[in-house]
Amino acid sequence: MANHLITITGIESNNDLILSDDGLTTTEAGDTVTWLISGNSGVASITAITEIDGVDVFSPDPTPLNSTCWEGSINPVPPSSEVTETYTINYLKVGDATIYTSDPKIRVNP
């Protein structure tokens, strides 16, 4: 079981997050995914990480470890075929109370 670190390094002009994995992480059953906010990214905090397309590859769902780091586990039961989920990261910008969203993807190999 591997740990996949996704660092949030900035914010695009359309409010999509700039991620160290370029918006697609490839995992396997039982892996851990950690999202870490870089200090100069412009992101103050993550408020939620949720699935949006009906496929939930996380079990349990991602939760905050602290104000700059979230962690989730990929379901320990391998899928019968490759599964790709689009998920949403809700976040706050530094100095802004508006919640913004970004929709990266996570792939789980069988």
pLDDT at position 6 is 98
Neighbours of 39 (CB within 10 A): 7
Confidence at residue 107, expressed as pLDDT on a 0 to 100 scale: 95
Question: For residue range 26-82, what is the model confidence (pLDDT) as tens digits?
Answer: 999 999 999 999 999 999 999 999 988 777 899 989 999 998 999 999 999 988 899
Whole-structure pTM value: 0.94
What distances in angstroms separate CA 52 from CA 41, 42, 97, 105, one per listed residue? 24, 24, 23, 10
Please tell me the total count of domains within the chain. 1
Structure tokens at 103: 């929709």
pLDDT at 2 over 90: yes
Domain that holds residue 11: 3-109
Sign for the pseudo-dihedral over CA of 3, 57, 49, 9: positive
CATH number of the domain residue 29 falls in = 2.60.40.420
Chain segment 94-109, per-residue pLDDT in tens: 999 999 999 999 999 9
Residue 52's pLDDT is 84
